[in-house]
Structure 1
Amino acid sequence: MKIPLFLIALVLALGGCTNFGLHPKTPGVVYYVLDDSEPGATATPAHSAALEDSAPQQAETRPESVPTLLVLDTTTAGFYDTDQLVFSRSADTRGQYQFARWTERPGKRFADLLRARLERLGRYRITSAGSYVRADLMLDTRLAEFYHDATSEPGQVRLQLRAELIDLKQRSVLGRRTFELSVPSKSYDAAGAAQASSLAVGRVLDDLDAWLTTVKYAPRMRMQQADPTTKGETP
């Protein structure tokens, strides 16, 4: 009895013995972890060119307690909102590495690293969206640019971050800032781009933290009303 060829092919496919449509030499996808490569213990001098959009407000009083800071998830410009590593071979083009992925999308990962860094430094009580904790301040960040500039070998990673700090109780903007930096890549490939990306993230976190130390927060102080009938005191 002759067995039809399509039945043989079906049995081999189910048994994992064939590889339809895939070239045997096709490289596998490599997943890279975006990390805070320079987790500083204290604020450090700025590494990037920080473009200040508004001067931070100054305060005359010192907070009585550590303020609670709501750190929103970092938003990302549309093309960079992906798990693929992005590169550019000319100023007006962008592309994506075919076999290189981030384990998490850069916006989500950056927000987690930012919260971890600020939590470790201890100047704020950190909370995130959806928490039941009432916050005093809110930090909103956006990755406007994040890619491997491969116009020349070995290239460099370019990162642009916009940050805004808001006083939730006073409903006012305490400061806005744009951070721009570039970090040279050690190799002209996705691996070099991933390593330089982590260095860029660590350095922009340094810059962001250093900036936050210059933004003074003045919480509303409870005023005790004096008794006008008490000798020597005025209302």
Structure 2
Amino acid sequence: MKSCFIAAQVVFLLATMPGIAESPALIPRPQKMEARDGFFALLPGTKITAGPGSRATAIFLARRLKTSTGYPLTVDGGASANAGILLTTNSADAALGAEGYTLAAATNLIVIRAPTQAGLFYGAQTLLQLLPPEIFSPSVVTNVDWNIPCVRIRDWPRFKWRGLMLDVSRHFFDKAEVEQILDEMALHKLNVFHWHLTDDQGWRIEIKKYPRLARISAWRASSAIQPPRESLKVAEALNAHPAWAAVASSKF
């Protein structure tokens, strides 16, 4: 108990130290960030302007914002804007690299600028984090002031390879769960998805394009083949026993 209390005190002190607790809180923390006075209010009439080649990212942002705000934000094309949200690659600093971006939020205009569409996409993810946490609700939330603090951000990744591995050979996930993991990866700017589909005992997933994978690699000298009727008996036994049935339907 004493060690837990000391640990809690350390966490509190670190969180209150200047330079440690930073507002707004973004994950990962941008390379450079300067908070300013005021905020940008996201409203139903806010327009998103997409520069040349940036429409796909603008549409993604509009749809993502609509999920929780309910706002039918429009996406228009254009090289510049005086109000709303602008996503553009024009006049972007090439030194930011393939995934870097700048984000400048003023009271009437937010500009996300990047040399590439990947950078614009990560800038859009930062914009989502600048909003109240209700923005991540899977359904519309009312009575929320969708305000974005005025800020200037210049950001680029420290590491080229930022990955996450998902092991589905022992731990099973459905399609919706995998898609949610991919969304979380994008939000936190992870760019490599390592999908561990099968273990070293053999490749036992059929892929029509690569038939020899399963035809050759699915077998080992020690592999045991169980007749289908025996497998059916095992399944029937599991279903007949309530405790086993519960375990069989669980995700490990």
TM-score using structure 2 length: 0.28
Q: Which has the larger radius of gyration?
A: 1
Structure-1-length-normalised TM-score: 0.29
Q: Comparing both structures, which one devotes a greater share of its residues to helix? A: 2
